[in-house]
A and B are shown apart, each in its own frame.
Chain A
Amino acid sequence: MPLSPEQIQRLARLARVAVSPEESSAVREQLNRVLKLIDELRAVDTTGIEPMSHPVAELIPAGQRLRDDEVTESDCHAEYQPVAPAVERGLYLVPKVIE
């Protein structure tokens, strides 16, 4: 089913990507083309088929490996923060969230 302009705005909000009113109709038209492609899936009979989330799960019978619950990294904030847009005294700055 094609997406309505309201649905586009709702998706944009969920995805935290602003879609301006000027872009909206082009975005909608292109998303609807993609939806038409993926709608092919809906008619396929998949009764009794397990969803496949890992491409080679059968090659690792023990399941996906988990690391031991141990501290392996030291404090790296001096190395990591120089690439942040706004930091002060070792803290990441964002707009005020609590009044």
Chain B
Amino acid sequence: MLNSTLCELSAALERRAISSVELTRLFLDRVERLNGALNAFITVDAQRSLGEAHAADQVRAAGGAGPLTGIPVAHKDIFCTRGMLTTCGSKMLADFVSPYDAHVIERFASAGAVLLGKTNMDEFAMGSSSESSFFGPVRNPWDRARVPGGSSGGSAAAVAARLAPAATGTDTGGSIRQPAAFTGVCGLKPTYGVVSRYGMVAFASSLDQGGPMAKTAQDLALLMNVMGGHDARDSTSLARDAEDYTRELQTPLAGLRIGLPREYFGTGCAPHVLARVREAIAWFESQGAKLIDLALPNSGLALAAYYVIAPAEASSNLSRFDGVRYGHRARAYGDLADMYCRTRAEGFGAEVKRRILIGTYVLSHGYYDAYYLQAQKVRRLIARDLAAAFARCDVIMGPTAPSTAFPLGANADDPVQMYLNDIYTIPAPLSGLPALSIPCGFDGAGLPIGLQLTGSHFAEARLLGAAHRYQQATDWHLRVPAETPL
């Protein structure tokens, strides 16, 4: 059961081979046994989970079950959950209990899924290693001395170690895909506007997008059927008809045009990562896909543009944490301004403060045009490159990250070195495009490697279909870390 896909679990529940209460207990027991070593979860409420499982069993008995009814799902601790802690990995929100549920949480609840717990993450989703959490670093199940990537590192580690059959994450510059690559799981960042941001703690609002993490592409499709869709409470949620994200799972690969940007296969990427990625691409070619050489001449500027735009939006979004309406407040202070300054100095960690200060700088008088407006113009150049590429191909493939998982603390003193992890994942959110990471092999040390597939707007189903075909022919996605045996 622990290594089963959502489809298999759904079938087992439907033929009454197991109940949701039993299934939920199985995963809760495993979380209890292994979470101490991995620190993947911040909050687990077994009683609540079992209550939801019991309710799901009753729904099934009454004949009202859907594909996810009774299946435990872990949620990144950035999604607000009514009556349960939502910390966003920060001291600022360490005691915050939301008075309402995020849209994504509501959708899973109405699909009958069981909330298994809230997963650890980089503070306010700012990071690529899940080390900046106020609740301590998450460890990579493949090697506990290494990071799981970030910021959705808790969700990634939970799925990789089979503590949860599936999880949610959020992606601003790569926060679903890079941890998916580092832990050998699958993760999808949908097209901007497909998943509602209502109740998802905001980091950079023109980039943030929630998405699913699971063992297989097919599972991602099932999760997207729940997560996707219009929500009037998010003004950037796109009003579109509901989609069935499983519809292209059987589409043949013959004729698929795969774009290979030169810039993604250069010296910046570790050779063993490139070797596995090239093998995966060769497999697609063997199935009749056509490989197309591409150039994305402005992609080298994506990191710089992102580290202006994201901190600018963050500095604005995080101004809400003032110690007045919710969250931490300093114990001792003088006047109002002093209360704000001390509250925020105490409540935020070092990386969050850095980004607030950078964001404040690029938005300040005299620098706005040179940095912020210029970054938005460069953003358009990057988006244009990708739009031109998708006139010639259906999917762009390359590595998800330039290396495999690195040791804890390796990038502690150099933020820019840490930022380089996101070099291949940033162009998609800058352009609002969907992108997905799937496992495509291991390096010499036994660490997972991710293949990234990027599509044009609303091409999620096509990406998931291509990934599913690959997973029918390979078993990288079913391997389990030796440190967390089944």
Give the interface of A toward B (CB within 8 A). 3, 8, 11-20, 27, 30-31, 33-42, 44, 46, 49-56, 59-60, 64-67, 76, 79-80, 82-86, 92, 94-97
Of residues 382 through 430 on chain B, the ones whose CB sits less than 8 Å from some CB of chain A are 383, 414-416, 419, 429-430
Query: What are 17 A-B interface contacts by the 8 Å CB criterion?
Result: A3-B361, A14-B360, A16-B341, A31-B358, A35-B361, A38-B358, A40-B304, A41-B305, A44-B301, A44-B374, A51-B376, A52-B376, A56-B192, A59-B193, A79-B99, A94-B339, A97-B336
Measured between beta carbons, the chain A residues less than 8 angstroms from B431 are 55
Of residues 283 through 334 on chain B, the ones whose CB sits less than 8 Å from some CB of chain A are 301, 303-305, 307-308, 315, 319, 322-329, 333-334
Q: Is the CB of A66 within 8 A of B235?
A: yes
Partner of A49, one of B192, B206, B380: B380
Measured CB to CB, the closest approach of chain A to B343, in angstroms, equals 8
Minimal Cβ-Cβ distance residue in A for B307: A38
Q: Which of B37-45, B112-120, B259-267, B349-357 contacts A (4 or more CB under 8 A)?
A: B349-357
The size of the chain B interface, using a CB distance under 8 A, is: 74
Partner of A17, one of B307, B308, B345: B345
- Given A41-B301, A42-B370, A66-B235: A52 in contact with B307 (beta carbons within 8 A): no
Measured between beta carbons, the chain B residues less than 8 angstroms from A37 are 303-304, 307, 416, 419
Compute how far the CA of A82 lies from the CA of B98 in the bound complex, rounded to whole angstroms: 10
Q: Is the CB of B329 within 8 A of A85?
A: yes
Q: Is the CB of A52 within 8 A of B236?
A: no
Answer whether residue B447 sits at the interface, using C-beta atoms and an 8 A cutoff. no
Measured between beta carbons, the chain A residues less than 8 angstroms from B152 are none
Measured between beta carbons, the chain A residues less than 8 angstroms from B432 are 55-56, 59
Q: Is the CB of B96 within 8 A of A16?
A: no
Answer whether residue B238 sits at the interface, using C-beta atoms and an 8 A cutoff. yes
Partner of B301, one of A3, A40, A60: A40
Answer whether residue B216 sits at the interface, using C-beta atoms and an 8 A cutoff. no
Compute how far the CA of A34 lies from the CA of B99 in the bound complex, rounded to whole angstroms: 37
Q: Is the CB of A59 within 8 A of B378?
A: no
Measured CB to CB, the closest approach of chain A to B341, in angstroms, equals 4
Measured between beta carbons, the chain B residues less than 8 angstroms from A53 are 206, 376
Q: Is the CB of A16 within 8 A of B238?
A: no
Nearest 5 A/B pairs, CB to CB: A55-B432, A51-B376, A85-B329, A46-B377, A18-B345
Answer whether residue B375 sits at the interface, using C-beta atoms and an 8 A cutoff. yes
Give the interface of B toward A (CB within 8 A). 96-99, 191-193, 206-207, 232, 235-236, 238-239, 301, 303-305, 307-308, 315, 319, 322-329, 333-342, 344-345, 348, 353-354, 356-362, 364, 370-371, 373-381, 383, 414-416, 419, 429-432, 457
Q: Is the CB of B415 within 8 A of A55?
A: no
Measured between beta carbons, the chain B residues less than 8 angstroms from A86 are 329
Minimal Cβ-Cβ distance residue in A for B379: A52
Measured CB to CB, the closest approach of chain A to B123, in angstroms, equals 14
- Given A52-B380, A56-B192: A83 in contact with B326 (beta carbons within 8 A): yes
Measured between beta carbons, the chain A residues less than 8 angstroms from B324 are 84-85, 92, 94
Measured CB to CB, the closest approach of chain B to A25, in angstroms, equals 13
Q: Is the CB of B377 within 8 A of A50?
A: yes
Partner of A60, one of B238, B360, B381: B238
Q: Is the CB of A34 within 8 A of B415?
A: yes
Minimal Cβ-Cβ distance residue in B for A49: B377
Compute how far the CA of A76 lies from the CA of B82 in the bound complex, rounded to whole angstroms: 14
Q: Is the CB of B344 within 8 A of A59?
A: no
Q: Is the CB of A11 within 8 A of B374?
A: no
Compute how far the CA of A18 lies from the CA of B338 in the bound complex, rounded to whole angstroms: 8
- Given A37-B307, A46-B378, A56-B193: A19 in contact with B345 (beta carbons within 8 A): yes
Q: Is the CB of A51 within 8 A of B193?
A: no
Minimal Cβ-Cβ distance residue in A for B365: A14
Most interface-central of A11, A14, A17, A82 (chain B CB within 10 A): A17
Q: Is the CB of B334 within 8 A of A30?
A: no
- Given A17-B344, A17-B353, A53-B376: A11 in contact with B301 (beta carbons within 8 A): no
Measured CB to CB, the closest approach of chain B to A62, in angstroms, equals 10
Compute how far the CA of A20 lies from the CA of B345 in the bound complex, rounded to whole angstroms: 9
Compute how far the CA of A85 lies from the CA of B322 in the bound complex, rounded to whole angstroms: 10
Compute how far the CA of A33 lies from the CA of B307 in the bound complex, rounded to whole angstroms: 12
Q: Is the CB of A27 within 8 A of B353?
A: yes
Compute how far the CA of A42 lies from the CA of B44 in the bound complex, rounded to whole angstroms: 47
Measured between beta carbons, the chain B residues less than 8 angstroms from A19 are 345, 353, 357
Most interface-central of A3, A20, A34 (chain B CB within 10 A): A34
Compute how far the CA of A59 lies from the CA of B377 in the bound complex, rounded to whole angstroms: 19
Q: Is the CB of B336 within 8 A of A54?
A: no
Partner of B364, one of A14, A34, A64, A80: A14
Minimal Cβ-Cβ distance residue in A for B207: A55
Compute how far the CA of A17 lies from the CA of B324 in the bound complex, rounded to whole angstroms: 15
Measured CB to CB, the closest approach of chain A to B243, in angstroms, equals 14
Minimal Cβ-Cβ distance residue in B for A3: B361
Most interface-central of A15, A30, A37, A39 (chain B CB within 10 A): A15
Q: Is the CB of B360 within 8 A of A15?
A: yes
Measured between beta carbons, the chain A residues less than 8 angstroms from B328 are 85
Q: Is the CB of A38 within 8 A of B357?
A: no
Measured CB to CB, the closest approach of chain B to A78, in angstroms, equals 10
